[in-house]
Structures are given as structure tokens and as C-alpha cells.
Structure 1
Amino acid sequence: MADEIEITKLEEGSYSPSVGGHKIPEFCASGAVVSLIQKVIAEVIGTYFLIFAGCGAVAINKIYGSISFPGMCVAWGLIVMVMIYAVGHISGGHFNPAVTITFAIFRGFPWAQVPIYVMAQVVGSTFGSATLYLLFPVKPKDYFGTLPVGSDIQSLVLEIIISYLLMFVISGVATDDRAIGELAGIAIGMTILLNVVIAGPVSGASMNPARSLGPAIVMHQYKSIWVYIVGPIVGTIAGAFSYNLIRFTDKPLHELTRTGSLLRSMRK
């Protein structure tokens, strides 16, 4: 078990926190700072395993041909569901810069934390991609990132549509107090699975700028990367906006989202 934090009185009105006899710097003693650090670590770990499992399934299937397209779809849905349940109560379980930005726009998340979350998500994705690159004999033809099969515009429209659906579902199951919040992970994971089935063969079904940026950074493949940054952000904003149009609105939005299972953890 971790050592308990001890508070030592130095002089009248002055206290020094410590763990196991070692003094903690004052800037680290703030509960808000500690909470933010925990959230950032959760986002890094969550996004890391999102990429490790999801992109790992793509890489293994391209290299060894042993998973199949349905297997890759299931892998993406399962890893999203698992990580939401694992750390969603700590960080909100974003793992996606587009979702983070959208939550901030609709007052479910503090703007000051957006750059930190986005950085954590990109770092987690890059580390996950680097792990796969080092573990497996990945060649350029085995690229496990996202590239349009058709035109950039076709993939852009697909990314907007599937990101819209993803955020619409997230808004319904994770921010509305009338929904069964405990089922949010299942609903979101199944939405990811469905979107990959539909859009995977065409655009790669990113829905997540970090998911596309990590492999691109590791393998230096930036072709059409703008599609996977613009598409998910536009789609998630539109999805959240649409859900808020049909949300029961006799209370302010911040009160309606207060009891949502994922957002509730971010407001503590």
C-alpha cells in the first residue's frame, strides 16, 4: 500500500505535507494539481492501450493475416469499452482530442485542461504506436494508421458522419441524467465497432485525431492527415450540438450534465 500523506506542523499556521518522511513540494500538495496529474496519466494510459490493442489488431492482421476484418472491428470496440470502464471515472475516458474539445465547447470540461488532455492523448498514441513498431516487423505496406482508400473528400465526409454518431451517442449515454450511465462504456464501444464496420474499409474509421497522429508520427506518414483532424472535430461538435437540441432543457445545461457518469468524475 502507498504511504499515507503526513502533515507536519512547522510553525503557527504553517504545515508541510510529506509521504514516507519525504517532503512533498508545495506546488504538488494542491489537491487540484494532484487530481489533474492523475487525469493526465489516465488519459495517457487509456490512449496507449487504445492504440496498442486497436492498431495492434490492424498491424497483426496486415503482417500475419490472422485476425480478419471482423476481428479488428471487435478489437476496437472492446478496447474502447474496457478503457472507459477502467479509467473513465478518473479522467472522463476521452482518449480523443475531438471529444475533449467538444466537451469544452458545451461546458462539460474546463478549457484550461484541453491542451493538457490533447497532449496526453497524442503522447499515449505515439507511445502505443512506437511499441507496435518495435515489437513487430512493420513495413510501409503494413501501416496501421489511417489513409483514405478513395478520395480525401469521401473519407472526410465519412469521418464527419461516424464522428457525429459517436458524439451523439456519448452525449446521450454519458451526459444526460436520464440515461443509464453505467452502460455508457458498452454503448460507446459498440458504436465504435459499428463505425469501423461501416467506414473502416474506406477511411480507416479514425474518429480520433490522436489515433491517426500517433502512427503517422512514428512511421512518418502524413498523407491526408488533415482529413483525420478536421473530420472528427467537425463531426463531434455537430453530434453534441444536435443532441443538445433534443435534450430536455428546463434546466441549465451544466445542471443536466452534472449527474452524467463520465462528466461527473471530471467535475470533482
Structure 2
Amino acid sequence: MSNNNNVRRDEDSALTSNIRQLIKELMAEFLGTYMLLLIGCSGTAAYVLNIKGIPNKPVDYAGVNYCWGFGAFVGICASMAISGGHINPAVSIAFATLRRFPWTKVGPYILAQTVGAFLGAATAYLVYLDQINMQHNLEPLRNHTELRAFGDALSTGGIFATYPAAHSTLLVCFIEQVVATCSLLISVMVVVDKNNLNVPMFLQPFLLAFVIATHAQAFGFNTGCAMNPARDFGPRLFTAMAGWGLNVFSPLDGHYWWSAGIAGPTLGAVMGVWIYYYVIEYFYSPPKGLNTSVDGINDTKPV
């Protein structure tokens, strides 16, 4: 009886420890994604908002992408040592397919990332509330509330979520996000792969921030280049609830938000990690006892 009680106590202790560790990781993902959206949306608002009503005011896209890159830098720094610094559901799913991350954590991670993105966008909205309201009182937004999200030079929905350019088709938007996120994940693998460049962990957030900003600049013409389902869906849901209405889900006959915002980045991320594995990692011949591994992520190789 004594031995059974000891075993039960050990099992309860291990379960409690695992739950605490998961909560710790989820809080890290929440904070990391929150910081990404807070800095990214605030930086976008600073460049995009036009309180003087001049619709042809030029936008410094490089400056906007710089803000998103360094928002990612802060988010990754905050979470990398604890949760791996995913701050992106597509990354969590991609590494799970590669067996570098447990599938049992994918759902909780996605929830934490999406909530962090939602609240990060909400905080940026509060910071710029006065300017946003002033812009919404300009014509044509004052009498055409459906244009607040997208469709006019003064539309403000793009501060928070991505929207297709006027010339973009659904197929082009989807392909862009697949290609962009595939390239992003290949670049991420290059940075975090210990058996490639073996970049010190403290340098990885700098390089990843540069990689993210570069991809946003290179692939942002058609869609704004989300490359992150939480970064797009969380703020889109917030704006739907904060006065922009369900019109935020209507671009390209209501198919843009899920195809370019969720499906494209997820497919691209999965393609990226597997392309890197079969083109680069597959040919490694590590010394005996050395596993091919990625910092902050489960070291199990795919079989």
C-alpha cells in the first residue's frame, strides 16, 4: 500500500509539473505574440493614419516592415528560451509535422498565440483611438462605414490585419503566402539549425527579425504579407468586434481571410521545413551521439 501511494504521489507530482511547464510556455507564446502585434500594429498606425485627410500621403513601407521585424525581435526574445519563440501557429504546426514539436501542444499554442495577437491589436487600437476616430469621421468613411476596413485610401483596417490590393486575385494572394512563408521557414531553419551555421542563441532573434522584415518587404505588395495566421486572424477578429464590422471578412468574396491569412501560411510553413530537411538536413552525417537539432524545439528527427 505504501509503495502504491508513493507511485501515485510521484505521478501526481509529474502531472502537476507538466501542467505548470505548459502554462509557462503558453504564457511565453502569449506575451511574445502580444508584443509582435503591439509593436507591429502601432508602427503601422504611426505611418498610415492620416489626420489631415490627405489621401495621397505616402506610406513608408520599409519603416512599417522594420516595425514588424523588431516587434518579432522583442516577441522572440521574450519567449524563445521558454517556449521556442514560435509566436506563429504556422511555425508550431510545421515543426509538429517534422516531429520537432509535440502535436499535443499545437492546439494550446495556437490559442495562446491568437489571444496574444487579439490583445496586442486591441492595445494598439487604444493607443491610436483618437486618431482612428478622427479618420473615421472624414469622408467617405463617415457615411460609408463599410469602407473603414478596406476599399478606400483612408481605410484603417490594414493597420491591424492584411487586405488584398485592388489588383490581386484570390489565387495570387494564396500563392504569395505559400511562397513567402515557405521561404520564411527555410530561412528560420537556417538560423536555428545547430548543425548548419550553429548561430549562438542570443544572436538568433536579431537574425530572425531581419529575416521577417525582409520577407515582409519582399512579398508585401499583393497582400501585406501576414505569413502568420495568428497575426492576421486575431486582429481581424478584434476589428470585427471593435466597430469595423463583419466587412473585415469580406475581401475576395469572403475567401481571403482564410485562404491567404490561414491556409496559405500554414501550407507554406510545412513545405518550408520539409524542403530544408530533405535538401539540407537529410545529408548530414553528425558524429556519433549528436542529434540534428533545433534550438528550443524537440530534437526528435523525422522518420
Q: Give the TM-score, by structure 2 length.
A: 0.73
Query: Which residue of the partner structure matches residue 162 of structure 1?
Result: 180
Aligned-pair Cα RMSD in Å: 2.7
Give the corresponding residue for 1:256: 292
**Structure 1 residue 232: Cα displacement:** 0.5
Task: Tell me which of 58, 61, 65 is aligned to 2:44.
Answer: 58
Instruction: Give the Cα separation in 2 of the matches to 1:142 and 1:159.
Output: 22
Task: Give the length in aligned residue pairs.
Answer: 243
Deviation at 1:113, TM superposition (A): 0.4
Q: Which residue of 2 aligns with 1:217?
A: 237
Superposed CA deviations along residues 159-184 of structure 1, whole A, max 9, x for unmatched, are: 11110111001112213433214232
Question: Does the CA-based 8 Å contact 1:90-1:265 persist in structure 2?
Answer: no
> What's the counterpart of residue 147 of structure 1?
163
The answer to whether the Cα contact below 8 Å between 1:76 and 1:193 also exists between their aligned partners in 2 is yes
Q: Which residue of the other structure, out of 174, 180, 194, is the alignment partner of 2:199?
A: 180
C-alpha distance in 2, partners of 1:164/1:115? 21
Conserved 8 A contact 2:29-2:109: yes
1:59 positional shift:
2.0
The answer to whether the Cα contact below 8 Å between 2:99 and 2:298 also exists between their aligned partners in 1 is no
Task: Answer with 225-234 or 65-74: which moved more.
Answer: 65-74
1:232 aligned to 2:285? Answer: no
State whether residues 38 and 71 of structure 2, in contact with CA within 8 Å, keep that contact through their aligned partners in structure 1.
no
Displacement after TM superposition at 1:27 (Å): 7.6
Query: Gaps (5+ residues) in structure 1?
Result: 1-11, 17-25
Secondary structure of 2:227's aligned partner: coil
Q: Counterpart amino acid of 2:231?
A: R
Residue number in structure 1 paired with 2:102: 110
Greater strand fraction, Structure 1 or Structure 2: 1
The separation in 1 between residues aligned to 2:36 and 2:59, in whole angstroms, is: 17
The structure number with the bigger radius of gyration is 2
* 1:28 shift after superposition: 9.6
Deviation of residue 105 (structure 1)? 0.3
Q: State the Cα distance separating 1:128 from its structure 2 match.
A: 1.0
Find the counterpart in structure 2 of residue 202 from structure 1.
222
Identity of aligned residues (%): 28
- Larger deviation, residues 179-188 vs 91-100: 179-188
Q: Which runs of 5 or more structure 2 residues have no equivalent in the other structure?
A: 51-56, 137-147, 149-154, 241-247
Amino acid at match of 2:273: A
Shift of 1:60: 2.4
Retained in 2: the 8 A contact 1:213–1:225? yes
Q: In the alignment, does 2:16 pair up with 1:30? A: yes
The separation in 2 between residues aligned to 1:66 and 1:86, in whole angstroms, is 33
TM-score, normalised via structure 1 length: 0.82
